Amino acid sequence: MRLIRIWPESAHFDFMRFRRFSFPLSAALSVLTVLLLLTHGLNFGIDFKGGTLMELQAKSGQADVAKIRQTAEGFGFGEVEVQEFGTAGGLSLRFPIQAGGEAAQSAVVQKVRDTFGNDYEFRRVETVGPRVSGELVQSGTIGIILSVIAVLFYLWFRFERELAIGAIVGTLHDIVLTVGFFVITRHEFNMTSIAAILTIVGYSLNETVVVFDRTRELMRRYKTMPVTELLNLSINTTMSRTVMTATTTALSLLALVLFGGRAIEGFAQVMLYGVVVCTYSAIFISSPMLIYIGLRSTETVKAPEGKVAPAE
Amino acid sequence: MLRFSKSKIIATMAVILIGLLLAVPSLMGREEREAFQRSLPSWVPSWLIPSRAVVLGLDLQGGSHVLLEVDIPDLLRTQSTTLRDDVRRVLREARVNPQGGIQLNPRGVQIRVPDAGDRDKILPRLRELSQPIGNAVLGQGGGRDLDVAVTPDGLITLTYTDAGINEKVRRAVDQSIEVIRRRIDVTGTTEPSIQRQGADRVLVQVPGLQDPQRLKELLGRTAKLEFRLLGQQGATDVDMLPMRDAGGQKSPVERRVIAEGADLVDAQPAFDSRTNEPIVNFRFNIRGAQRFGQATSENIGRPLAIVLDNEVISAPTIQSAITGGSGQISGRFTVQQAQDLAVLLRAGALPAKLTIVEERTVGPGLGQDSIEAGKKATYVAAVLVMIFMIVTYGLFGLFANVALLVHVGLIFGLMSVLEATLTLPGIAGIVLTIGTAVDSNVLIYERIREEAHAGRSIPSAIQAGFERAFATIVDSNSTMAIAAVILFFLGSGPVRGFAVVFILGILTTVITAVTLTRMMIALWYHWMRPKTLPF
């Protein structure tokens, strides 16, 4: 059997050259994200905004969206979003948070159940009051901040300052571009999205760390090699692993997007995008950053802390 | 050299076997599992065969998740009302008449006693109303729940301290959990989970419940029942309470409570023998029966207000003294309402109103669909990744695939042992780890290939590959673990399920990708003595 070769062993591809494109591109995308975030904001789900989300399934298999919208708008619960989704006859309703505190939210559910209960099956009903949504916003924000801090600490312990800076720039880049994905696609941003972002932080770091582990190893071996060449060599030698892992991860996520069902489709899409972004940033952002930071400024190179298993 | 001692092989296999055995119940359906357990011969000790399956989250098995919060202002109002009664008793016993009666404050009561002599008489007694907080026996905790302050012009304020309020909220949550449990138990729902969450919340999770409306009705009512007399319009000691079926019209009801829900020993739904209307029959305990008997005999001809949650549900005229200790409540109920009221009265009143702050209900249909979709995604992901591994690494890819299957099995095994909950994001986590688990194998194999290319012999290259890749594997897994651990501590419910799977996945990869693969490769090398790498 002839096996596939992902990346030729003797490749000497000049990745560093691409920083002329990747830096402006990423900068532009990041700025665009921030601008769009400020002007359009995120499409917050009920986790963060509060309100009521319902998924209905027509018992007849045929949902009358127009009629539902008309009826639901007549309830006086504010602007209602009605969308078809999933299999035939499926639709979702989203009501904004009701004024009048926590107790006022239940009235929405009751009204909708009373009105459509005969013709529709209620597959999912979620109501989040103002207090809980406020707390979720808080814990989501704390989560992202904490993860960045944890990453900083990890890098501080594990790597030289230059490498750590490169890695943290890469991680921030990936967070920003992931947020950009949410802003542009108008994907609902909820607690699962926070999970996706945190997982992407982990993956992003993972990608960078594998390359930088190699960079550090090569720095010790080739003490006089120019930085650009050293970085290119690091990427070339780890490239087949990078592509392999990105592919297997992407394949699983693809399975999740295609078959995982409506409820995790969104999560899987973001993650799939994240894998692409993380792979890109590890090669074209974090590594070339080191050229500017100046890799050889420190003479002493820390020994790797991970113990190597003794041979038998 | 590339050797794997017999004892090490046995140990590795044993760990994996136990792990997989623990996963078996989760892979069987509930019926299959029970049938299998029945089919076991009696000499097989039950502890030998794992029976615990992974717990499915509400998003997968369907059910209701309702988060309730103790209404603190309401709790304080109730507490302050009780305090007012205590203060009134003190005043009456000391024969002191405050100027303008007793005023209710949001956090206590206040009275105005201009006469210094009167103040000196009542102040020590009022201070006695204050209770120490915490463990009174050991004298720990310090502080008291009530603060008594006096101004020179005679204004006495009794205010609950922050510590006192916290203590009351804590106790209210404990009591609420008890009451909720009793209320839900009567509905016959299976395996409800009722837990304290945070300082002032109760989380109720009921699997399989489709329409939480009845649950919410049962939980949303305080069910504070009081028997009071209807008072005179314009009298001082009355509350104006709404009458049921009177279109919001309010009636004066005396503040004095004759008997209350806590005095009941039983309540049952029934039908009125004359009108055939649904009613609730109740029986008082001895104290309640005495007080009720005395009050009714003294007030024949006057209307008795039956007050439920500050609403007069009916006000029948007392025809004769009711001394038997039992009675009935009518109020134009439906059959369901009478049943619910009886349940609520038997279960007791909540210490304060509970507000629903979050509700999530998933129908069983959606849950089942999610499980099916999750299974399908898992299979497809596994097949795609495994094919890809084989076309890239050949035989070594096959080794990695065996490790991958064991890895997924071990996640299930660990989750069963830890009684972790599998949620829909958890399934997503499993699928994702299928993609990332092989990363460790890839790191090792790529390294082996490089080492072989650099001129090492096969066994030496394999050895070096494992050793040199190990540091990177630890690095790359710990980066993923950072994110997962944070997610575990911050997330709740479904999202936490994702974090659990991810953390377990990271742990099992190290076992499967490093130890198991290494063992397989070592054995392969010893049997085949290959001259080249298979990839």
What CATH number does domain A16-43+133-297 carry, 3.30.720.110, 3.40.720.10, 3.40.50.300, 1.20.1640.10?
A: 1.20.1640.10
- Please report the residues numbered 43 through 82 in chain B whose beta carbons come closer than 8 angstroms to any beta carbon of chain A: 59, 67, 69
**What fold is seen in the domain B6-58+363-528?**
Multidrug efflux transporter AcrB transmembrane fold (1.20.1640)
Task: Give pLDDT, residue A301.
Answer: 46
User: Dihedral sign, CA of A170, B471, B393, A15?
Assistant: positive
Is residue A310 pLDDT above 70, yes or no?
no
Interface contact flag, B359 A109, Cβ < 8 Å: yes
d(CA B273, CA B279): 10
* Cα dist from B39 to A186, B30, B36, B45, B522, whole Å: 54, 14, 5, 13, 40
Whether residue A7 lies within 8 A of chain B, CB to CB, comes out as no
Phi-psi region of B281 (alpha: psi -120 to 50; beta: other; left: phi over 0): beta
Average pLDDT score over chain A? 87
Residues ≥6 apart with Cβ < 8 Å to A172: A148
The reply to whether A89 touches chain B by the CB within 8 Å rule is no
CATH 1.20.1640.10 maps onto chain A at 16-43+133-297
DSSP tag of B48: G
Element (H or E) spanning B194, and its range? strand B193-197
Q: State ipTM.
A: 0.88
The reply to whether A233 touches chain B by the CB within 8 Å rule is no
Q: A51-128 in CATH: which number?
A: 3.30.70.3400
Find residues 167-226 of chain A whose CB sits inside 8 Å of chain B: 191-192, 194-195, 198-199, 201-203, 205-206, 209-210, 213
Whether A248 and B436 lie within 8 Å, measured CB to CB: yes
- In DSSP terms, A54 is beta-bridged to A93, A125
Q: What percent of chain B has pLDDT over 90?
A: 25
Number of alpha carbons in the 13 Å side-chain half-sphere of residue A218 = 21
Residue with tokens 């590594």: A287
Are residues A241 and B69, on separate chains, in Cβ contact within 8 Å? Answer: no
For the whole model, what pTM was predicted? 0.84
The pLDDT of residue A168 is 92
* DSSP single-letter state for residue A160: -
Separation of alpha carbons B174 and B101, rounded Å: 34
Per-chain mean pLDDT for chain B: 87
Write out pLDDT tens, residues B22-65. Answer: 888 887 777 777 787 777 777 777 666 777 788 888 889 888 89
**How confident is the model over B94-127, as pLDDT tens digits?**
888 888 888 888 889 999 988 888 888 888 888 8
Judge whether B103 is closer than 8 Å to chain A, CB to CB: no
The string of DSSP codes covering B232-298 is -TT-SSEEEEEBTTTTT-EEEEEEEEEEEGGGEEEEEEEE-TTT--EEEEEEE-HHHHHHHHHHHHH
Q: Which residues of chain A make contact with B480, given a CB cutoff of 8 A? A: 199, 202-203, 205-206
> Using CA atoms in the order B481, B487, B492, B495, what is the torsion angle rounded to 10 degrees?
-80
B286 to chain A, minimum CA–CA distance in Å? 38
- Within 8 A by CB and 6+ apart from A220, the residues are A301
Q: How confident is the model at residue B364 (pLDDT cuts 50, 70, 90)?
A: confident
**Amino acid in the structure at residue B235:** A
Domain boundaries of chain B, sorted by first residue: 6-58+363-528, 72-167, 225-339
Q: Which of A125, A205, A197 is nearest to A167 (CA)?
A: A205
Chain A residues lying within 8 Å of B486, measured CB to CB: 143, 146-147, 150, 198
Strands of the sheet containing B63-70, edge to edge, are A81-84, A90-95, A51-58, A120-128, B354-362, B63-70, B201-207, B193-197
Per-residue pLDDT band at B516 (split at 50, 70, 90): very high
At residue A303, does pLDDT exceed 50?
no
Largest CA distance in chain A: 78
Average pLDDT over every residue of B229-249: 81
Predicted confidence at residue A297, as pLDDT, reads 46
Which of B366, B470, B481 faces A55 most closely, judged by CB atoms?
Answer: B366
Q: Give B142 or A250, the one with higher predicted confidence.
A: A250
CATH number for B225-339 (one of 3.90.1150.10, 1.20.210.10, 3.30.1360.200, 3.30.540.10): it is 3.30.1360.200
Residues 6 or more apart whose Cβ sits within 8 Å of residue A170: A204, A208, A281, A282, A285, A286, A289
In tens, the pLDDT along A261-279 reads 888 888 999 999 999 999 9
Q: Is B376 on the interface with A (CB under 8 A)?
A: yes
8-state DSSP, A18: G
